[in-house]
Structure 1
């Protein structure tokens, strides 16, 4: 709709060994990972998750958004393993935050698109990794296990407790799994016979995801500044009409006290 005013902001979160990092932090290239500020989870009284130390960057067109994606990708944790020459060692969440409003309206509509790249599960006995790679594999597999637990719980109709808090990833994706959302999962499989067990496991996981039923509704809120402007205009119009009826002229602008009455 060309009549609406749109704003777009981008964030890019990496979850490495169960710690969050801002992939768009300008200090990323010149600093060691352990020296960067960690992204932490904050939960409000309505159980909404907020991410501290995760930056938002405005993007006015597709090119700017893609440049932010490419910039973040250069900062990702990647390592060579016996199974993969360029194995991603973390989960990443590229988020597009959208808001729109009609000119002159106080109602703002919000939307959010998570593009999630999950690190692949690893069978340590098969890959034969050790040291830091082994530690990374354990964190990857554990977080995928917690994600699967959430998926299983969501697919059970009578399940009252969903274990979102077990991992950072499931906490961040809470509103994109069983909340006000629409979710698409793309399962990638290996063509190699030696990976048949992992491929079957991935297919079963995708089947569980397909059982989840979500219903999305519009996210709208009132912008306080826009509401004040609308009310100011409405009050002025009513005063002008009153002046026409009574014959009194009012030329001075409305005071702040009058607006707050």
Structure 2
């Protein structure tokens, strides 16, 4: 669970002081899934445990009061949930990754009254949203080059937007007439996401492959192997 704050990835499962001292790098595993090297990984065995971790991380997120919002998020929130389930009937294992990304809203300093550090935060947010817009446009128009590497946000969302993924975007818009321009911009932004088409398929392993992987993990950790009857 991370936040992208002023172009830096910060781990929300550690204290803010420790987070600023950590180096987190964006990597890909052999399956093409993006992960944060150097970040804490927490285990959850139920929805209740998962929600408790979510609340723990949110307590460390950067927020500030502006003229538009008393608790304005000053960063993008990124949660990566890796899920593995075993079919108890045939032993096959399916796995996948669910990415939940809460994008900070684009800001206009004239409306928010952002100054000094808040203005720096707003510029960083707008820059990353612009890079995400470029990626979404490239994907929706099926261009040969997708500019994922232009920003850390798009690098981290690469496996959520392209490849073996299904992308959903939920947009909060204002009902006020004074925000009509921002509302239309947000809806147009989201309409591009809807145009992204990927050939998503189920990640599934047979019972035999899952069993072999379990044996390898035990051998690596020095655990004794049980004799099969």
TM range (shorter): 0.7 to 0.9
- Per-residue deviation, 1:32: 6.5
1:182-197 to 2 correspondence within 5 Å?
182-197=166-181
Alignment correspondent of 2:80: 95
Are 1:70 and 2:59 an aligned pair? Answer: no
1:49-89 Cα offsets, whole Å, 9 max, x none, are 33112211111111111100111111100001122111000
1:232-251 to 2 correspondence within 5 Å?
none
1:162-199 Cα offsets, whole Å, 9 max, x none, are 00111111111111111211111101101222211111
Are 1:117 and 2:99 an aligned pair? Answer: no
Are the equivalent residues in 1 in contact too, given 2:11–2:19 (CA < 8 A)? no
Higher Cα Rg, which structure: 1
Larger strand share, 1 or 2: 1
Alignment correspondent of 1:199: 183
1:76-155 to 2 correspondence within 5 Å?
76-102=61-87, 107-155=92-140
Change in Cα spacing, 1:155 to 1:180, as seen in structure 2 (3 Å) is same
Change in Cα spacing, 1:51 to 1:32, as seen in structure 2 (3 Å) is closer
Match of 1:52 among 37, 40, 57: 37
After superposition, the CA RMSD in angstroms is 2.3
Structure 1, gaps ≥5 residues long: 1-11, 229-252, 255-261
Distance in 2 (alpha carbons) for counterparts of 1:107 and 1:126: 54
Change in Cα spacing, 1:98 to 1:203, as seen in structure 2 (3 Å) is same
- Per-residue deviation, 1:218: 1.3
Distance in 2 (alpha carbons) for counterparts of 1:81 and 1:151: 29
- Per-residue deviation, 1:19: 0.8
1:141-179 Cα offsets, whole Å, 9 max, x none, are 00000000000000113x100001111111111111112
Are the equivalent residues in 1 in contact too, given 2:77–2:103 (CA < 8 A)? yes
Distance in 1 (alpha carbons) for counterparts of 2:23 and 2:214: 35
- Per-residue deviation, 1:108: 3.2
- Per-residue deviation, 1:103: 5.5
In the alignment of these two chains, the number of paired residues is 214
Q: 3-state SS of the aligned residue for 2:71? A: strand
Superposition TM-score, scaled by structure 1 size: 0.75
Structure 2, gaps ≥5 residues long: 217-226
Of 172-181 and 219-228, deviating more is 219-228
Distance in 2 (alpha carbons) for counterparts of 1:43 and 1:96: 15
1:198-245 Cα offsets, whole Å, 9 max, x none, are 1110011011111111221111343434477xxxxxxxxxxxxxxxxx
